[in-house]
Structure 1
Amino acid sequence: MRFQIQKKVVEVVSWGLVVGWMGLIFYLSAQPGEQSADLSGGITELVNEIVEQVAPAAEFKMDEVSFFVRKNAHLFAYMLLAVLTLNAVRRSGGHGFKSMGAAFILSVLYAISDEVHQLFVPGRSGQVSDVLLDSTGALVGIVLYAVISRGLARKRQTEEANKKV
């Protein structure tokens, strides 16, 4: 009975993290264009400072760095969304490729809804290219999750086999 309650709590927390991350994506997408550009600009400046310390002789254009930061933010946001979603689906009893497919579809549908949402935000626009980038991030997240999960499962199996010997 206690194990079942703990399992249910983990499942609810897992889905809570998915919803929370979706909420953060929604919040950031609801920022007007100017405010979003300011946030990207601040992150770009931070990246610039780090690069200057690591490689002072490096030359690059700020608009290129800004583009890189913005696009990688999409990739990272949906990579993490897919990881959180796949974890929640598996905690809810999903297995194998079906759970991966469900996590991918959920992530892509959210990416589409996010770009549609941005159509209604002043100074923002919805981009099909962003949905493709978000989908790529989701796919990367799912592959990483699967590779790490498989590695951990093999390690556990090896440890259990060694205990029996």
Structure 2
Amino acid sequence: MKRIRPISIILIALVIALSVTIFVMSSQESRESSETSGGVCEFLLKVFDRDFEDLSDDEKDERIDNLQFFVRKAAHFSAYALLCALALSACLSLQFKALTSAVTSISYSLLFSISDEIHQSFVPGRSCEFRDVMIDLSGAVVGAMFILLVRKIIKKRFPK
């Protein structure tokens, strides 16, 4: 039996860790989830909006609310781009063929996204959104494309 390289174990552990993190975040009730994304929005506004600190509390809340939808969707996209990139890297490190690795990692990401949305439907105040599955899938495809592109550049730059 062929030995599994340490990098493969690390990548698999990262896939598992990110999957658990996504599951835990999806277990948050709507109030807690809104507080989390609201905190991210407030941080972003403090960093990038010079006038934010001078606004009234109502105006701050309005700006946070306006940004929250985009932050939540960007989080979906980014999490699944990273999940798929890690899964694809793990498959490639195990020396599976590129196409097999890409299909496997995108499929894993999609199935995890679907199961995660179903899981959210059982969490108070949360719902199962087809749109989120499509955003997650888009992120997964971009993550896979990024890894395959980097792999191609490396192979071209450093031929054996």
Aligned equivalent of 2:81: 79
Contact 2:38 2:65 in 1 (8 A): no
Q: Map of 1:2-151 to 2, 5 A cutoff?
A: 5=3, 7-53=4-50, 61-151=63-153
Larger Rg computed on CA atoms: 1
Distance in structure 2 (CA, Å) of the matches to 1:62 and 1:42: 9
Amino acid aligned to 1:69: V
How far residue 142 of structure 1 moved from its aligned partner, in angstroms, is 0.5
The normalised TM-score by structure 2 is 0.87
Distance 1:31 1:113 in 2: 16
Give the distance between the partners of 2:42 and 2:153, measured in 1 at CA: 37
Gaps in structure 2 of 5+ consecutive residues: 52-61
In the TM superposition, structure 1's runs of 4+ consecutive aligned residues that sit over 4 Å from their partners are none
Sort the Cα spacing of 1:53 and 1:149 in 2 relative to 1 into closer, same or farther, 3 A.
Answer: farther
Q: Which runs of 5+ in 1 are unaligned?
A: 55-59, 161-165
Question: What percent identity do the matched residue pairs reach?
Answer: 32
Deviations 1:105-132 (A, max 9, x none): 0000000000001011111111000000
Matched residue pairs, number? 151
